[in-house]
Amino acid sequence: MSLIIFLKIFTVCILGAISPGPSMVVVINNAIFKNRYHGILTSIGHGLGIGIYALFAVLGIAIIIQTNIFFFNTIKIISIIFLIYLGLKSITSKNKLEFDKKELRGGLMSFFQGLSISLLNPKIFIWFVAIYSQFMSLENDLIFNTYLVLTAGLVDASWYIILTFLVTSKATLEVVKRKSILLQKAVGSIFILIGILLLIQIITEYT
C-alpha cells in the first residue's frame, strides 16, 4: 500500500467523521449532560458501528442491503423513531443534572446509544459504498482490507473522543451549568426536528 493510498483513505475517513449530523449531537449530549466518561463510551460505540459498516462495504454486504428497498426503508424508520425518542426523553427529563458527580453507571447504555445512532443511519451505507468502492479490488489482500475497516472505526472514535474533551472543558461546562435546562430542551428539540425532517424526506420520496 502506497503512502498516497494510505493518506486518501485516512482523509476520507476524517471528512466523514467530522461531518455534522445526528451522531455528533448524541455524543455531545451524553458528554455534557452525563459526563466525559459517558461521552467517551458513546464515541467508542459509534466508532464500532462505523467499523461494522466499513466491514459490510468491504464484503459487499452494503450493496445487497442498499438494493433491498424494504430492509433499507425499515432502517430509516427505526432511526427516526430512535431520534424522536431521544428528543422526547431529553425534553421531558426532570432529573436534576449533577455536573460535579462522577457517575459511572449507565455506561453500557451510552455505549449502545453511540453504536445504535451509527448503525441506524442508512446514509452511512451509501457513503461507504461510494467512497470505498474506489479502493476495492479482487487483488486486495487481507492486510489492506483490514486497514480499510480499522481506519474507519478508529478515526471515527478518535474524532468523537477529541470532541468529547473539547465540549467538557471547564469553560464549556460553566456555561452549561448556567443554562442546563434550556440547553437540554434545545438538544431534545434538535433530535425531534431531525427526525421530522427525515420523515418528511421519506414521505416525499414515495408521493
The three cell numbers of residue 42 are 458513546
Residue 118 in this model has a pLDDT that exceeds 80: yes
Q: How buried is 174 (Cβ within 10 angstroms: 0-12 exposed, 13-18 middle, 19+ buried)?
A: exposed
Show contacts of 13-21: CB within 8 Å, 24+ apart: 13/151, 13/152, 13/155, 13/156, 14/155, 14/159, 16/127, 16/131, 16/152, 16/156, 17/50, 17/155, 17/156, 17/159, 17/160, 18/159, 21/121
Check residue 18 and give its pLDDT.
78
Q: What is the mean pLDDT of residues 98-126?
A: 74
Asked if 82 contacts 25 with a C-beta cutoff of 8 angstroms, the reply is no
Q: What is the mean pLDDT of residues 85-101?
A: 67
Check residue 35 and give its pLDDT.
84
The residue with greater pLDDT, 190 or 48, is 48
With bands split at pLDDT 50, 70 and 90, how would you rate the model's confidence at 64?
low
Q: pTM score > 0.85 for this model?
A: no
